[in-house]
A and B are shown apart, each in its own frame.
Chain A
Amino acid sequence: MAERTVAVLAGGLSHERDVSLRSGRRLSVALREQGLTVHEWDTDASLLARLRDERPDSAVVALHGGEGENGSVQTVLEMLGIPYVGTSSQGCRRAWDKPIAKALVAKADFATPKWTVLPHSTFRELGAQAVLDAMVDSLGLPLILKPDQGGSALGTQVVRDAAELPAAMVGCFAYGDTVLAERFIDGVEVAVTVVEGDEGPRALPAVEIVPESGVYDYTARYTAGLTDFFSPARLSDQAAKAVGELAVGAHRLLGLRDISRTDAIVAADGTVYFLEVNSSPGLTETSTVPMAMEAAGTSLGAVFADLVSRAVRRAS
């Protein structure tokens, strides 16, 4: 039987291109070690022709942000009938929009920090200071600002003093036109990877994140050494079970497929808060997903080779 061919899609035009290229390279090496033939393709004007001409057995979407996570690339793969690893276009659209994901998860009685979503136009039309004051009254301080879409903590700002809010808003709006403001919850920050197998989705051991600076921002994420990770996380059995249930719950509620990563906080009182979910999580040298796989006794290559087989079976 000929070797299975896989197209790893990485790069793209989102702000997370650099991270995606790193994820794609790492995944490609891992899949080659599993005996697969791997092409690394960027999502440019030549992609469709390549997919049509070479018809890989499966694609793996290692794109982060933008078209790779908002369902666009998945829609194209679906139109071309090419099996792929990862969440369907519909599921992507739900997970990609952080406020929608939070609302759906909250509706299922999982805790998530109190939040509000505001477009730039609201500040412009109603007066920034009045809206900011209302935001602080409603959410309290500190709070965290994020673009409503996107990952890698790009544009994310922790605001501890109301005087910092205008500058933080401008920084956040540089990445998008709508801001998600969330109450900042102090606690143990964890990332929980969910992988689907024959028995359905299961949570891998949670990875605890302890950034040296106290904030897990872009620099803390991608500079080796600036963050300590604990895998498994230093949680009570009860908390470890709860974060796993949250991650699997979010995966199911949002209709995610194959693999996802849920970011959560375990507060001092034991409450587990959902922060956000990633349908195409980072796979770089400093990402938590490969660490979780290692803690579970498996590897990036083995997990994704299995997911490729599942994608191919799903299509046949």
Chain B
Amino acid sequence: MTASQPPEHRPGSEPGRHNLDPHLDRYAARTAGMTASEIRALFAVASRPEVVSLAGGMPNLAALPLDSLSRQMAELIAEDGLVALQYGSAHGVPGLREQICEIMAMEGISAHPDDVVVTVGSQMGLDMVTRLFCDPGDVVIAEGPSYVGALGSFAAYQANVVHVAMDDDGLVPEALRQALAEAARHDRRVKFLYTIPNFHNPAGVTLATERRAEILEICAEHGVLVIEDNPYGLLGFDGQTYPALRSMDPDNVVYLGSFSKTFASGLRVGWVLAPHAVREKLVLAAESATLCPPTLNQLVVSRYLSTHDWKGQIKTFRENYRERRDAMLSALEQHLPPGCTWTRPDGGFYVWVTVPEGVDTKAMLPRAVTARVAYASGTGFYSDGFGSRQMRLSYCYPTPERIREGVRRLAGVLESEMELVRTFGSVTTRAVSGPQFPGPDTA
């Protein structure tokens, strides 16, 4: 091969052969499933204003005081630019870590700022925790359904996910017990339980307070760590909060927090609170991943917390989201055909809808996009191909009017799909071909 050959010609390949990826035989096994997908491509249409997107988990940033934020950011650069634009510690800005502890105290957590590691969104925290704990083939237990971004991280580290059932009160303790017993029977090593106890993504339910201690006890009995992911905990519509699992068992819970849903998702600032020994390793892992989280963004968050009425802002968000949740629930009641059921969240961003037998929400998505409405189909929230009868609807971003219009369109799509199912009979669900990877449309 000479230097002038086009790069797409693989050494020793046949003349005229183009394989457009010369690195194909070099990739790690964990890249399996990182392929183009027509479902992902459909979300390019969902970003157009003509489409009511009930798919994405984007916070309603229009409720933020942008003028005042812009002044604060300008002042930050003027007054503290040499620090804000410089590398920082992998551990995170100390002042922000102290403020994070004050926030966590609202859900009963007593923590030392040294045990907090600031991350690039809690997604990075999730990635690092999985990296620290999971070898290929290890088992991770997660609710069924679970957050698509977590499933993507687990897949990237080649962990096997076992889903455990939920009901209206969240994760079912007995189902967890059975899953752990089953894993033990097959000699499979369970590394941790990944759980979103509050205003679950995507299910919209909350783990009942009385179940929390029991879940922790079961995990302790089986020597299983708990990863508590809590981005929505302060978004209870009545201002209600629930005791964090971390507050009940500090030694066996790693807690993930985020400013994405309570302030600004674009800043990508989240955190991990971990027992001391784990935290030491997290800092080293963070250093190798990013050197440090963005100093500028951390200082923006810190300044916002110290100069703005951030609790008042969260209240504003809660009121916005409650109004939108109400709009969605009443529209679902009014428009959805018989046989559909859905959860009724009292906080957070999502409603989890179950459609009649035979309808495959993934197969239906192109029809929905044609009708100018989008949702996240249920299979993305499972690692094992389940979820074809489910879909996640987000009410966080569209206005109440748009939500009502979106649900009206969705109902029409469902009616058409149900007619197809009546014509062709209940169809076999197409299996998920590989791990799902999160995009902004399913975050």
Q: Which residue of B36, B419, B424 contacts A169 across the interface (Cβ within 8 Å)?
A: B424
Q: Are B45 and A17 in contact (CB under 8 A)?
A: yes
Q: Are B16 and A167 in contact (CB under 8 A)?
A: no
Interface string of B417-431 (1 = CB under 8 A from A): 101111111011010
Chain B residues near A170: list those with CB within 8 A: 360, 363, 417, 420-421, 424, 427
Q: Are B425 and A229 in contact (CB under 8 A)?
A: no
Known: A17-B44, A154-B38, A174-B366. A120 touches B420 (CB 8 A): yes
User: Number of contacting residues on A, CB 8 A?
Assistant: 44
Known: A128-B424, A174-B365. A14 touches B45 (CB 8 A): yes
Q: Are A123 and B424 in contact (CB under 8 A)?
A: yes
CA–CA, A19 and B17, complex, Å: 24
| A270 contacts the other chain (CB 8 A) | no
| B268 contacts the other chain (CB 8 A) | no
Q: Are A232 and B16 in contact (CB under 8 A)?
A: yes
Q: Are B419 and A124 in contact (CB under 8 A)?
A: yes
Q: Are A228 and B16 in contact (CB under 8 A)?
A: no
User: Number of contacting residues on B, CB 8 A?
Assistant: 41
Interface string of B40-53 (1 = CB under 8 A from A): 11101100101100
CA–CA, A44 and B45, complex, Å: 12
Known: A174-B364, A174-B367, A218-B41. A13 touches B50 (CB 8 A): yes
Closest to A14 in B: B45
Binds A, one of B19-27, B189-197, B319-327: B19-27
Q: Are A167 and B366 in contact (CB under 8 A)?
A: no
Distance (whole angstroms) from the CB of A220 to the closest CB of chain B: 9
Q: Which residue of A15, A167, A226, A232 contacts B369 across the interface (Cβ within 8 Å)?
A: A15
Interface string of A98-132 (1 = CB under 8 A from B): 00000000000000000000001001100010000
Q: Which residue of A166, A218, A295 contacts B16 across the interface (Cβ within 8 Å)?
A: A295
| B307 contacts the other chain (CB 8 A) | no
Chain B residues near A174: list those with CB within 8 A: 363-367, 417
Q: Which of B30-81 contact A (CB under 8 A)?
A: 35-38, 40-42, 44-45, 48, 50-51
Q: Are B35 and A223 in contact (CB under 8 A)?
A: yes
Q: Which of B193-220 contact A (CB under 8 A)?
A: none
Q: Which residue of B17, B42, B423 contacts A15 across the interface (Cβ within 8 Å)?
A: B42
Distance (whole angstroms) from the CB of B14 to the closest CB of chain A: 7
Q: Are A154 and B366 in contact (CB under 8 A)?
A: yes
Q: Which residue of A128, A230, A291 contacts B423 across the interface (Cβ within 8 Å)?
A: A128
Distance (whole angstroms) from the CB of B420 to the closest CB of chain A: 5
Known: A167-B430, A174-B367, A221-B36. A230 touches B41 (CB 8 A): no
Interface string of B1-29 (1 = CB under 8 A from A): 00000000000001011111101100000
Chain A residues near B23: list those with CB within 8 A: 225
Closest to A131 in B: B423
Q: Are B424 and A224 in contact (CB under 8 A)?
A: no
CA–CA, A226 and B417, complex, Å: 32
Q: Are A166 and B45 in contact (CB under 8 A)?
A: no
Q: Which residue of A164, A169, A175, A229 contacts B20 across the interface (Cβ within 8 Å)?
A: A229
Chain A residues near B422: list those with CB within 8 A: 124
| A193 contacts the other chain (CB 8 A) | no
Distance (whole angstroms) from the CB of B413 to the closest CB of chain A: 10
Closest to B46 in A: A17
Q: Which residue of B41, B45, B424, B425 contacts A13 across the interface (Cβ within 8 Å)?
A: B45
CA–CA, A17 and B18, complex, Å: 26
Interface string of A221-240 (1 = CB under 8 A from B): 11111111111101000000
Distance (whole angstroms) from the CB of A92 to the closest CB of chain B: 19
CA–CA, A164 and B428, complex, Å: 8
8 contacts across the A-B interface (CB closer than 8 A)? A15-B41, A120-B420, A124-B423, A169-B420, A170-B363, A219-B37, A219-B38, A224-B20
6 further A-B pairs in the complex, CB-CB below 8 A; given A18-B44, A225-B20: A120-B420, A124-B419, A174-B363, A174-B365, A218-B36, A226-B35
Top 4 closest pairs, chain A to chain B, by CB: A225-B21, A222-B36, A18-B44, A224-B20
